[in-house]
Amino acid sequence: MKKTIALLTGGTTGEWVVSVKSAATIAQNIDSTKYDVYKIMLTESGWFYEPAEFSENRYR
């Protein structure tokens, strides 16, 4: 049985880009046979949920 984890990324500061890129790197390199990964993106407009398929290009 896979474990479920959430990546919390984004924020409301200048470090937003670093956070998004870090989460994308983790998502690309995590063992998907062991983990189901869900992303929670924080922005100044609120928060958004994403399924495991994640692309940092979407937030550029």
Considering the entire predicted model, what is its pTM?
0.74
Pairing of β 35-43 and β 46-50 = antiparallel
Burial (Cβ within 10 Å: 0-12, 13-18, ≥19) of residue 52: middle
Please state the rounded mean pLDDT for residues 32-45: 92
Type of residue at 30: I
pLDDT in tens, 5-30: 999 999 999 999 999 999 999 989 99
